Chains A and B, each alone.
Chain A
């Protein structure tokens, strides 16, 4: 069974630009979660999508947004990039009503 996949693996952007990160959940999983792993800040919860709706949001500014598509894949958008947005962005998925979150390999975003 294929795991959670994320693309691209690496992304280099300039301050002020926009970044789009993509995630495909495990087949049958309807929930998608986004986490940021930044140096010195650890792993922080960003967003939770379930059945196309945003269910929960972490303590991040509105320029972090996303959506979930009918096939349950998800996109994370980061607008007006700042240097401190440089981090590993991890996507996870889970079955309906299940608390086991399975993570993908991440997208390394570098803002210069």
Chain B
């Protein structure tokens, strides 16, 4: 079946790197995304990666994809208090007709 899992909570010190992890069950993924949700707001598309890529870097964000282990990670360098939010991993599986399957979200807390 199609399932996406994330750990629920991560706490980091300001200035450190954050690594948010995600695993998915179906190997026929096509596109994999990271979204950010701040309190009371919608979802902000941070970055995405095609399943034929291993890594993508965009300023402070680095996405790593391990297809063998069905593992996706988002690294945020130099984490700031403004990065505190819920981060969602989402996957479009092959034949999914643009349907995003979301993980439960990881709440990132950044403390001084």
Q: Write the residues of chain A forming the contact surface with B, with a CB cutoff of 8 angstroms.
A: 4, 31, 33, 35, 42-45, 48, 55-56, 58, 90, 92, 94, 99-106
Contact = CB atoms under 8 A, between A and B. Distances in A.
Interface stretch (B15-23, B71-79, B92-100): B92-100
Contacts, number: 52
Given A42-B105, A43-B88, A55 B98 contact: yes
* Chain B binding surface SS class: strand
* Chain A binding surface SS class: strand
Interface residues of B, number: 21
Given A42-B104, A42-B105, A104 B98 contact: no
Contacts of A94: 98
Contacts of A105: 41-42
B44 interface: yes
